[in-house]
Amino acid sequence: MAVEPEMIRNVCLIGHRGSGKTALGEAMLGLASGRKGAQGSILDHAEEEIEREMTLGMSVAHLEWKGRQVNVLDTPGDGGFIADAFIAQRAADCAILVVHAQDPIQVVTERVWRRGEKEGIPHIIVVNHLDRERTDFSAVVEQLRERFGMAVVPLNLPIGREGGLRGVYGLLSGTSFVDGQQTAEVPTGMEEAVEEAKVQVLETIAESDDTLLEKYLEGEELTTEEAFEGLRRGIADGVIIPVLATSVEKMIGVDRVLDVIAGSAPSPVDHSRWTNEDGEEVPCNPDVPFAAYVFKTYVDPFAGRLSVLRIVSGCCRSDEALTNPRTGSAERLGGISHLSGKERISVNEAVAGDIVAVAKLKDTHTFDTLCRPEAPMVLAPVTLPEPTTAFAVGAKTRGEEEKVFEAIRRVIDEDPSLKLERSEDTGEDILTGLAQMHVEFALERIARRYGVEVEARAPKVPFRETISGTAQAQGRYKKQTGGRGQFGDARIEISPLPRGAGFEFEDAIVGGAIPRQFIPAVEKGILEALGEGPIASYPVVDVKVRLYDGAFHSVDSSEMAFKVAGSMAFKNAVTQARPVLLEPYVKVEVLAPAELVGEIMGDLSGRRGRPMGIEQRGDRQLIQAEVPQIEMLTYARDLRSITGGRANFHVEFVHYEEVPPNLVEKVLVANETEVAEKV
């Protein structure tokens, strides 16, 4: 029988790479299974993760602790894989932010915190690696309070420092936990620190509730039960952010983390953040129609697709008949299971608030909603970070195109922060991701899992050509090979149009110089000739063509002849009209800390960028500039290097401008190299 929603805890482990998120998760699983140490490689179970010793994707694990069912979502700490952390913050009910005691406020720490604020998810902070040299728990707490606000308060204190770390002291329980032993004594020499920290946490708890505050101000002492209940409500409301001291490596404080999750972290009922596409709240209630959100997909080349669902409302059993509102298709739940890394633990039913896995859904993908056919609902989607790195991709081996793109689609199904799009401008298939390593890892996974190799290169920049002057020219096509010949004669005038105007054709024929039925053929020939300009064979744009004269033959003229004549006339005219090369400009918006603005502006100027302004956005600055697209090919990597990953950026096309004369040769050389490589 399924557990009640109030007994479920869904937590996600977030934080910067190296803080010890996965190690904490493994340690919690080990304790819950009755072991004293970590369970092993349950969370980082993928072959690539084991090789690299880093988390590359979200893992899900289920455990039980003191009567609570806990679903743990472990997430990557590298910025290139941060999308899974953002998704986990939607699927979970509480975020466990793990920070490194030697360097607590790092790049990804700030990014996941900002996303957590947008999601409205409660936080608990775990300070790890307190057994390392040069660590000071009280100093870390002060840094966290400065960055994340006065709601941040310690819930326990470390006993000992650095290599002498022995345990933790619980401020509300008044208990010391050392070497598996509990004593109701304040450790010698910690009396003053304990009193100061206890006052701080009790004041914060009292301020979170009017009744408790009144009692506290009247000088009455809060009972232990009142303090813990106030803590639980304060965490759920986001007005208390407790900080816990740990050394996962020494297994110090890990059981305290589990106790806080089980006793004080919000249940799915305490803090519902789910809304449908109309913005209406969806309550966590097992007695209403079923709705579940697919937030993660695992694709195995042999076992098929495994979908991970957060059940938002209602309840379900195996073999349940459901519908997918996006596709309109019917889906049937096969076996329902809890996950423990790659292992599945079968369950008969699941209730609102739980996280379960379902195998082999036929037409359901990540971010889809599953619901009852009689009560359709679409849950609001997760907003992912924008891709910053792009590669043009194709099959390395001729004949494997279908296999390659099917493999790419499967990897994207697992990781929706990857995107595959066809560029109409260049005819390339473009694979984009959050960082170069993100895309490279996806390509490596494709080769390893599906046995096909993907060719990846920098995408082409869609240059254009146009004219800067006016010219007239004739296109005369005459061919006689015995029997009926071919004849067409077209005279045109071309002139430049404003940037972005495209192409305009004017029929100015009078007196029947060209019969009416052949004029569309002339235009068609000109349109085909627009495809390759005289400078570097890029398309020609922003040109007006006026067809003003010509000649025909009553027997030999045909549509084909006039199509060729139109093409010849345009090619002759464009070379005389001072052709120029155009390059695309993009609008770049960079969001960064104020102290980095100077370096970023200098870098953009070095890319021929034009500053467009700076705006204040919260505690950061939004830098705007227009930059030639060709100068942005390595920007994601370079910005990360300049800022240490502390800045985000967005790019969108704005317009075309003429390439400076001194750079035209550089573009032509690059084009010739590309053509040579293709041959």
Could you give the C-alpha distances from 562 to 47, 478, 488, 556, in angstroms and in order? 63, 10, 5, 11
Whole-angstrom distance, CA of residue 205 vs CA of residue 362: 49
What is the count of structural domains for the chain? 5
pLDDT in tens, 298-317: 987 766 789 999 999 999 98
Q: Is the same domain home to 558 and 607?
A: no
Closest by CA to 435, choosing from 82, 4, 31, is 82
Q: Is the same domain home to 402 and 438?
A: yes
Residue 427 inside a domain? The answer is yes
Q: Is the same domain home to 363 and 399?
A: no
Residue 483 inside a domain? The answer is yes
Is 80 exceeded by the pLDDT of residue 143? yes
Collapse the DSSP code of 221 into the 3-class scheme (helix H, G, I; strand E, B; otherwise coil) and give the result: coil
Q: Could you tell me if 324 and 372 are in contact, meaning their C-beta atoms sit under 8 angstroms apart?
A: no
Could you give the C-alpha distances from 54 to 24, 41, 45, 57, 462, in angstroms and in order? 14, 11, 10, 9, 37
Residue 277 inside a domain? The answer is no
Could you give the C-alpha distances from 489 to 493, 503, 532, 538, in angstroms and in order? 14, 22, 21, 26
The chain-wide mean pLDDT, for the chain, equals 91
pLDDT of residue 676: 43
- Domain boundary among the residues 577, 601, 620 is at 577
Q: Is the same domain home to 37 and 164?
A: yes
Residue 438 inside a domain? The answer is yes
Q: Is the same domain home to 537 and 595?
A: no
Q: Which domain holds residue 354?
A: 291-371
Is 70 exceeded by the pLDDT of residue 670? no
State what percent of residues in the chain have pLDDT above 90. Answer: 71
Residue 274 inside a domain? The answer is no
Q: Is the same domain home to 351 and 483?
A: no
Q: Is the same domain home to 111 and 231?
A: yes
pLDDT of residue 36: 65
Residue 432 inside a domain? The answer is yes
pLDDT in tens, 647-666: 888 888 899 999 988 888 87
Angle separating helix axes 519-529 and 559-574, nearest 10 degrees: 40
Is 50 exceeded by the pLDDT of residue 600? yes
Q: Is the same domain home to 124 and 216?
A: yes
Token pair belonging to 645 = 């990953």
pLDDT of residue 442: 93
pLDDT in tens, 167-207: 999 999 999 999 888 998 899 999 999 999 999 999 999 99
pLDDT band at 677 (very low <50, low <70, confident <90, very high): very low
Residue 272 inside a domain? The answer is no
pLDDT of residue 678: 41
Residue 284 inside a domain? The answer is no
495 Cα distance to chain centroid: 45
Show the 3-state SS of 612-671: EEEEEECCEEEEEEEEEHHHHCCHHHHHHHHHCCCCEEEEEEEEEEECCHHHHHHHHHHH
Mean pLDDT value across residues 107-111: 88
Q: Could you tell me if 409 and 393 are in contact, meaning their C-beta atoms sit under 8 angstroms apart?
A: no
Q: Is the same domain home to 227 and 324?
A: no
Q: Which amino acid, 439?
A: V
Q: In what helix (H) or strand (E) does residue 191 lie, and over which residues does it extend?
A: helix 191-207
Give the single-character DSSP code of 252: B
Collapse the DSSP code of 426 into the 3-class scheme (helix H, G, I; strand E, B; otherwise coil) and give the result: coil
Q: Could you tell me if 616 and 632 are in contact, meaning their C-beta atoms sit under 8 angstroms apart?
A: no
- Domain boundary among the residues 457, 482, 504 is at 457
pLDDT band at 37 (very low <50, low <70, confident <90, very high): low
Token pair belonging to 487 = 């004849």
pLDDT in tens, 275-288: 988 888 999 999 99
pLDDT in tens, 363-411: 899 999 999 999 999 998 899 988 888 999 999 988 899 999 999 999 9
pLDDT of residue 45: 80
Q: Is the same domain home to 151 and 228?
A: yes
Q: Could you tell me if 643 and 592 are in contact, meaning their C-beta atoms sit under 8 angstroms apart?
A: yes
pLDDT of residue 1: 58
Q: Could you tell me if 131 and 163 are in contact, meaning their C-beta atoms sit under 8 angstroms apart?
A: yes
Is 60 exceeded by the pLDDT of residue 11? yes
Q: Is the same domain home to 235 and 153?
A: yes
By mean pLDDT, which of 22-31, 51-60, 356-365, 479-488 is the weakest? 479-488
The CATH number for 21's domain is 3.40.50.300
Q: Is the same domain home to 471 and 616?
A: no
Beta strands 156-159; 369-371: pairing state:
unpaired
Collapse the DSSP code of 291 into the 3-class scheme (helix H, G, I; strand E, B; otherwise coil) and give the result: strand
The CATH number for 320's domain is 2.40.30.10
